[in-house]
């Protein structure tokens, strides 16, 4: 009985971060990496994976420590936990690919102050058992990665004519310079937000009708 | 018309002119300018104007169809946006890029804000600014005017395939053997080569094969028609020209070797078109007379500053966009004093008020109100 009832709830918890509470398109959190590192699909994907890793690990630890974390110093505790995992990611990326490390720059270290992670720790992990907290965090991480990819892919296609480094058009392709510049990030993010809100509104209208 | 009872808040007295009438007059006044542009650059310019205007109207139609826009497709405002955008682009601008710019100008510049009257920035300039940021090379590539085969032969860069780079016009022009052709507009020539094109040639746009837009004289004449019929406020262009001239003159006096003459500043680039047609966009310029002077003066000043002290040869576009951005602030600080709230606390006496005040009614107003 309990397993049957628990399965859809877990799935809902996971899907929440991808669709209903998508950190990029619904909550509009973590805009700094969203706009800054999504110049190409590879950058976006690695940033998403790095953030997801930090998110899942720190939520698990915060959840484990939730019963004896003093309320007064909880934010400091969360930050120390998050910073620990960010340091792990920082060194890991540096070891795997120096080119990627240079491309992402300071934004790897800045995962510490990403409000998605702190928000999850405060709003969910500190009140739930480790497994649901990790599932929720994983959903958020996947949702964030999808959001970054959505921006990165569009910006890479228009800005360089490639997709994950693979050339899509002939050599004669005209790159849209604006797409790799900061304004391009805002334009593409705005367009996606527009599309998703239109989609959500239409769905709502259909349900009401 | 007057049989319907209007239930709404003030103002109740309004002019009989509709948005559509005003916009149509602006389109009529732009026809000679566009004709001159086509005469200068031939079939490429014609295709550019057609494509840009067509895409603007189509985009407007798509967005008005969603029911979220204030205007409707018949109000000619998208035609004006299209014509103005086409006039600001180089004639050999690839048509697919022009279509992108046209879509952006209506979608981002106007539809996003809720349609005509709600836009913060001039839509045509939003489109051009996007094109400038996205395709900086293509938008700076000019071809000479009055080429011999312009009536039948496209500029090769016009017909670039969508998403592809335009053909190189330099090789095409090399075969034409044009004397003294450097490929730079008069402004770029001044900025990067320190050569000054004569004021007479700039005035009429007729001298030789200069890569410039329609004649400033023609644009000002068309603007005078609009201003004389009160479809446009004369204060804004006057303020733009005046402030640009004064700023340029002051700089010229400081260092004649480094700064161009005020005549060159006034006649070159897009200053005439910008001052007469773009700065005066009703939705994006102040409504108070004092505000109009200030707004125009700001645009003229910024244009000269950008032209002389930045990396760009031309600054009219950014100057007007900045002017648009501060318009709400200008309107706020230049609100006229309401009657009875002046600095002097004395009550005014012996004031008389016309039943048909001249500042409201024009043309057919008086008759229409008498009838009702």
Model confidence at A27, pLDDT cuts 50, 70, 90, reads: confident
Q: Do A181 and B133 touch (CB under 8 A)?
A: yes
Region A179-199: what's the mean pLDDT?
A: 90
- Asked if the model's pLDDT at residue B209 lies above 50, the reply is yes
Region A99-123: what's the mean pLDDT?
A: 89
The phi and psi torsions of B83 (rounded to 5 degrees) equal -65, -45
In percent, the amount of chain A with pLDDT more than 90 equals 52
Query: Which of A50-64, B130-144, B166-180 holds the top average pLDDT?
Result: A50-64
Could you give the C-alpha distances from B293 to A88, A103, B262, B278, B298, in angstroms and in order?
60, 48, 20, 15, 9
Name the residue among A161, A173, A177 with its Cβ closest to that of B133.
A177
Model confidence at B34, pLDDT cuts 50, 70, 90, reads: very high
Q: Radius of gyration of chain A from Cα atoms?
A: 19
Place of tokens 């804004």: B236
Minimum CA–CA partner of B96 in chain A: A174
Q: Do A174 and B133 touch (CB under 8 A)?
A: no
State the pLDDT at residue A96. 92
State the pLDDT at residue A4. 46
A62 CB-near residues (< 8 Å, 6+ apart): A69, A77, A78, A81, A121, A125, A126, A133
State the pLDDT at residue B58. 95
End-to-end CA distance of chain B: 9
Q: Radius of gyration of chain B from Cα atoms?
A: 22
| Alpha-carbon distance B123 to nearest alpha carbon in chain A (angstroms) | 16
B99 CB-near residues (< 8 Å, 6+ apart): B51, B52, B55
Give the distance from CA A197 to its chain's centroid.
19
Q: Do A169 and B134 touch (CB under 8 A)?
A: no
Dihedral angle of Cα B347, B352, B354, B359, to the nearest 10 degrees: -50
Residue predicted with more confidence, A13 or B218: B218
Among residues B69, B48, B47, the alpha carbon closest in space to that of B60 is found at: B69
End-to-end CA distance of chain A: 35
- Asked if the model's pLDDT at residue A25 lies above 80, the reply is yes
Helix H or strand E segment including A79: helix A74-96
Minimum CA–CA partner of B66 in chain A: A198
- Asked if the model's pLDDT at residue A206 lies above 60, the reply is yes
pTM (predicted TM-score)? 0.85
Q: How far apart are CA B322 and CA B315, in angstroms?
A: 11
State the pLDDT at residue B241. 95
Mean pLDDT in chain B? 86
Reported as a single tens digit per residue, the pLDDT across B300-323 is 999 999 999 988 888 899 999 999
Residue predicted with more confidence, B361 or B170: B170
Query: Which of A13-17, B6-10, B118-122 holds the top average pLDDT?
Result: B118-122
Q: Does B163 touch chain A (CB under 8 A)?
A: yes
Least confident of A32-36, A44-48, A139-143: A32-36
State the pLDDT at residue B1. 44
Minimum CA–CA partner of A168 in chain B: B163
Structural domain boundaries enclosing A127: 2-165+174-208
Portion 152-171 of A in contact with B at CB < 8 A: 161, 169-170
B325 CB-near residues (< 8 Å, 6+ apart): B120, B121
* Burial category of B132 from C-beta neighbours within 10 Å (exposed 0-12, middle 13-18, buried 19 and up): buried
Q: How far apart are CA B277 and CA B25, in angstroms?
A: 12
Q: Does B67 touch chain A (CB under 8 A)?
A: no
Residues of A in contact with B165 (CB under 8 A): 172-174
Q: Does A195 touch chain B (CB under 8 A)?
A: no
Q: How far apart are CA A21 and CA A14, in angstroms?
A: 10
State the pLDDT at residue A11. 83
Minimum CA–CA partner of B107 in chain A: A191
Among residues B56, B96, B90, the alpha carbon closest in space to that of B73 is found at: B56
How many residue contacts between A and B have a Cβ separation below 8 Å?
A: 31
Region B217-222: what's the mean pLDDT?
A: 94
Residue predicted with more confidence, B209 or A22: A22
Model confidence at B328, pLDDT cuts 50, 70, 90, reads: very high
Question: By 3-state DSSP, what share of chain A in percent is helix, strand and coil, each rounded to 5?
Answer: 80, 0, 20
Q: Does A176 touch chain B (CB under 8 A)?
A: yes
Model confidence at B117, pLDDT cuts 50, 70, 90, reads: confident
Interface probe for B, chosen from A174, A175, A178 (most Cβ of B below 10 Å), is: A174
Number of domains in chain A: 1
- Asked if the model's pLDDT at residue B372 lies above 50, the reply is no
Q: Does B343 touch chain A (CB under 8 A)?
A: no
């Amino acid at each position: 009985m309990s397993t049957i009832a628990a399965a859809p709830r877990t799935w809902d918890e996971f899907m929440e971060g991808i669709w209903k509470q998508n950190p990029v398109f619904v909550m509009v959190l973590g805009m700094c990496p969203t706009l800054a590192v999504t110049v190409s699909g590879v950058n976006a994907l690695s940033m998403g994976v790095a953030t997801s890793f930090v998110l899942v690990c720190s939520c698990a630890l915060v959840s484990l420590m939730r019963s004896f974390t003093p309320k007064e110093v909880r934010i400091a505790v969360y930050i120390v936990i998050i910073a620990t995992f960010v340091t792990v990611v920082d060194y890991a990326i540096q070891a795997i690919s120096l080119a990627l490390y240079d491309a992402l720059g300071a934004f790897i270290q800045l995962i510490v102050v990403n409000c998605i992670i702190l928000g999850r720790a405060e709003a969910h992990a500190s009140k739930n058992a480790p497994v649901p907290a990790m599932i929720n965090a994983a959903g958020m991480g996947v949702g964030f990665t999808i959001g970054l990819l959505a921006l990165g892919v569009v910006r890479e296609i228009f800005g360089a004519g490639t997709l994950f480094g693979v050339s899509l058009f002939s050599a004669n392709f005209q790159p849209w310079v604006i797409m790799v510049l900061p304004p391009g990030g805002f334009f593409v993010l705005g367009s996606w937000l527009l599309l998703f809100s239109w989609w959500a509104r239409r769905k709502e209208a259909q349900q009401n009708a | 018309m007057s049989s319907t009872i209007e239930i709404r808040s003030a103002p109740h007295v309004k002019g009989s002119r509709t948005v559509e009438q005003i916009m149509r007059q602006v389109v009529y006044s732009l026809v000679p300018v566009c004709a001159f542009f086509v005469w200068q650059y031939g079939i490429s310019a014609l295709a550019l104007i057609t494509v840009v205007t067509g895409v603007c109207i189509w985009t407007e139609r798509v967005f008005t169809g969603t029911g979220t826009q204030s205007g409707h497709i018949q109000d000619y405002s998208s035609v004006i946006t299209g014509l103005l955008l086409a006039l600001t682009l180089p004639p050999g601008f690839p048509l697919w890029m022009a279509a992108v710019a046209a879509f952006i100008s209506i979608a981002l510049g106007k539809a996003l804000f809720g349609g005509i009257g709600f836009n913060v920035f001039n839509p045509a300039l939003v489109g051009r600014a996007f094109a400038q940021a996205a395709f900086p090379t293509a938008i700076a590539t000019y071809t000479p005017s009055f080429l011999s085969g312009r009536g039948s032969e496209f500029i090769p860069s016009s017909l670039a395939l969508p998403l592809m780079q335009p053909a190189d016009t330099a090789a095409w022009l090399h075969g034409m053997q044009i004397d003294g052709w450097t490929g730079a507009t008069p402004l770029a020539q001044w900025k990067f080569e320190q050569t000054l094109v004569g004021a007479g040639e700039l005035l009429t746009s007729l001298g030789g094969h200069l890569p410039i837009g329609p004649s400033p004289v023609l644009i000002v004449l068309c603007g005078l028609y609009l201003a004389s019929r009160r479809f446009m406020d004369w204060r804004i262009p006057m303020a733009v020209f005046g402030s640009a001239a004064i700023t340029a003159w002051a700089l010229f006096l400081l260092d004649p070797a480094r700064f161009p003459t005020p005549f060159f500043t006034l006649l070159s680039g897009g200053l005439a078109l910008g001052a007469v047609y773009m700065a005066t966009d009703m939705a994006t310029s102040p409504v108070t007379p004092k505000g109009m002077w200030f707004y125009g003066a700001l645009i003229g000043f910024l244009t000269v500053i950008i032209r002389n002290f930045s990396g760009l040869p031309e600054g009219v576009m950014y100057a007007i966009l900045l002017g648009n951005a501060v318009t709400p602030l200008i309107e706020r600080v230049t609100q006229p004093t309401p009657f009875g709230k002046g600095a002097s606390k004395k009550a005014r006496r012996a004031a008389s008020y016309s039943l048909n005040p001249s500042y409201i009614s024009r043309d057919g107003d008086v008759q229409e109100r008498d009838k009702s």
